[in-house]
Amino acid sequence: MCFDCMKQAFPNRGETCLDSGSYLMNFQGCSECQKKEQMKVQERKVETDEDDVETIVYQHVCGNCGHFIAEHKYTFYVDGDYQEYEMYCRLCGRSATSISIMPMDPKMQSVQF
């Protein structure tokens, strides 16, 4: 993984979890060829384990020279009444979010007046 190609390693992305694509705002440019071309996704794998946890892993590479920039990992699973999403990538950042599968989110009802 290349720290020189990005502005910041593992930026905090709040609740934004990407299962595809790249966070171009954090891409400084390729340290190998000095170009800022569109990145490519390479070696994308989707796996589901015995607990029904879906994991997507792929590599961000320079679209011009193929230089390896970062590995992207996205995870999705259901925990009780919530869908859980997590993202971990040196380029795209770290994030996690939880969304209720129920019509009325029990966590949000306790916040209301």
The pLDDT profile of the chain, 113 residues, written as one tens digit per residue, is 688 899 999 999 988 998 988 998 999 999 999 988 888 999 999 999 998 999 999 999 999 999 999 999 999 999 988 999 999 999 999 999 998 887 766 666 555 45
Rounded to an integer, what distance in angstroms lies between the CA atom of residue 95 and that of residue 111?
A: 23
Rounded to an integer, what distance in angstroms lies between the CA atom of residue 36 and that of residue 25?
A: 11
Question: Which residue in 48, 60, 52 sits closest to 24, CA to CA?
Answer: 60
Please, what are the domains in the chain? 3-108 (2.60.40.4240)
